[in-house]
Amino acid sequence: MTDYSELCIMPMALNDLPQVIRIEAQAHAFPWSEKLFSSNFGTRYFNHVLSQDERVLGYYVASQAGVEATLLNIAIAPNEQGKGLGRKLLEHLLDHASTKQVEEIWLEVRESNQSAHHLYNELGFVEVDRRKGYYPTAEGREDAIVMCCYLDPVV
């Protein structure tokens, strides 16, 4: 059993990208490019990596516009999935967004990704819409489930 006592969640840096891109390629059938990751840095983005001993185990990319944030991408290395690390990253996102006066966090999830959908529900996300045929698949297209988590204002 792996010891996760030394986990660290830190802002993503450009030098994290080689490890992030490796996880992205392993975790997603249609991965983001390095160029796309690089374009998601700046003042409106809050991107973080979850690491242990300088090894990136997962990450998220989010952007903020006013009081809304959008989770654009999240992944855990396939060999580390199912161990609660995705939950840790999402809890960090919710906490971090609250400190930035975010009131709503939006995301889209593949209809077929039932484990992620279940986790989002557990953490307070609700389904608000569907985008028909949004995601590519090997056989065609599948729906995106649009979800939102309404955060309590920080006083």
Q: Which amino acid is at 145?
A: I
Candidates 24, 60, 80, 120; catalytic one = 120
Residue showing tokens 């006592």: 5
| 135 included as an active-site residue | no
The reported pTM is 0.92
121-130 burial string, b = 16+ CB within 10 Å, else e?
A: eeeebeeeee
Confidence of residue 1 (pLDDT cuts 50, 70, 90): very low
Any catalytic annotation for residue 45? no
Compute the mean pLDDT over every residue in the chain, rounded to the nearest whole number.
Answer: 93
State residue 72's pLDDT score: 97
pLDDT at 3: 65
Catalytic residue, chosen from 103, 104, 108, 111, is 108
